[in-house]
Amino acid sequence: MDLRRWHYFAVLAEEMHFTKAAARLFVSQPSLSQQIRAFEADLGVALLDRTGPRFALTDAGRVAAAEARDLLDRLDRARGAVAAAGRGDAGRLRIAYTRSAPGPQAGDLVAAYRERHPDVELALETGWTSLNLARLQAGEIDIGFVRPPVAAAGIEVAVIGSEEVLLALPSGHPLAHRRGRVSRAAIAAEPVVFWPRENGPGQYDAISGQVWPGGLPPIVREEPEDEQLMRAVAEGAGVAAVPEHRARALRRRGVVLRRLAAPAPRIDLGLAWRAGPASAVVRGFVELAGSRVRTS
């Protein structure tokens, strides 16, 4: 059916006067009358009682007037929703954090995006670099926080921040109570607790290359996550290198955190998304991240 006729009838029902309704619609009165009759023919029912000196709405006309207004309101809402989605102000965005970055960089970015786009539904979860990249490639998430450098087909990555890597020592270790920063030579032969390289090869190599430039000492224990890694250090299994925010968030009895001698080891935090045309919500998130990096 012609939506224009619903609009014409809604205005006529509000004005209850053909001349006023025609003026409001910027059409002639005869044209409006013709459109209303065609509308009645479309519906197969009389909407106006024309027996008196002034027309009145029939029972069907009163229902049609209410339905016309509801239909037009829904159409306006639909137009607004479509326009908002096109601007990136509405929709759904699936984001995966990485467990190694619980600090303010990722959290503040998500909070800033939520404040700027309150009508975008955020679906948040936590993974790790290799998992987030695989889920991006599979189309299961839209944005993933990762630890560069990374190489994944069809994925774009932008570095949005960095943080220092700290040394986690058992509290009974002789180095735990020395003043000043710890030299790399002092830990060159210490047993190491690490997580599996396949979880994030880029981060693994960046940490090991900066903390143990002469090559990794024997890895005495592999733990799947930093929580278990810190537990292993507390138990005296060995030393570990942990990103600062993660290390401080997981700090526990039996572990002492120390800084390494200059140059302090650092690792990057990156934002990853699928290459090619992106949805408006993804573009909005990536652009916000870029603007925050440029002004920081």
User: Quick one: pLDDT at residue 73?
Assistant: 85
Are 3-87 and 92-296 in the same CATH fold? no
Domain 92-296, what fold?
D-Maltodextrin-Binding Protein; domain 2 (3.40.190)
- Asked whether 259 and 64 are in contact (CB, 8 A), the reply is no
Mean pLDDT of the chain: 90
The string of pLDDT tens digits covering residues 73-96 is 888 877 766 776 676 666 889 999
The pTM for the full model equals 0.67
Q: Which residue has the higher pLDDT, 180 or 99?
A: 180
In the chain, what are the domain boundaries? 3-87, 92-296
User: Quick one: pLDDT at residue 87?
Assistant: 64
The string of pLDDT tens digits covering residues 239-285 is 999 999 889 888 889 999 999 999 999 999 999 999 988 888 898 99
Please count the other Cβ atoms lying within 10 Å of the Cβ belonging to residue 285: 27
The string of pLDDT tens digits covering residues 100-130 is 766 688 889 999 999 988 888 899 999 889 9
- Asked whether 235 and 254 are in contact (CB, 8 A), the reply is yes
Q: Which residue has the higher pLDDT, 53 or 34?
A: 34
Domain 3-87, what fold?
Arc Repressor Mutant, subunit A (1.10.10)
> Read out DSSP for the chain?
--HHHHHHHHHHHHH--HHHHHHHHTS-HHHHHHHHHHHHHHHTS--EE-SSSS-EE-HHHHHHHHHHHHHHHHHHHHHHHHHHHHHTSSEEEEEEEETT--SHHHHHHHHHHHHH-TTEEEEEEEE-HHHHHHHHHTTS-SEEEE-SS---TTEEEEEEEEEEEEEEEETTSGGGG-SSPBPTGGGTTS-EEE--GGG-HHHHHHHHHHH-TT----EEEE-SSHHHHHHHHHTTS-BEEEEHHHHHHT--TTEEEEPBSSSPPEEEEEEEEESSS--HHHHHHHHHHHHHHHH-
- Asked whether 166 and 247 are in contact (CB, 8 A), the reply is yes
Tell me the mean pLDDT in the region 37-54: 91
Q: How far is CA 12 from CA 16, 19, 45, 71, in A?
A: 5, 9, 17, 15
pLDDT above 60: residue 296: no
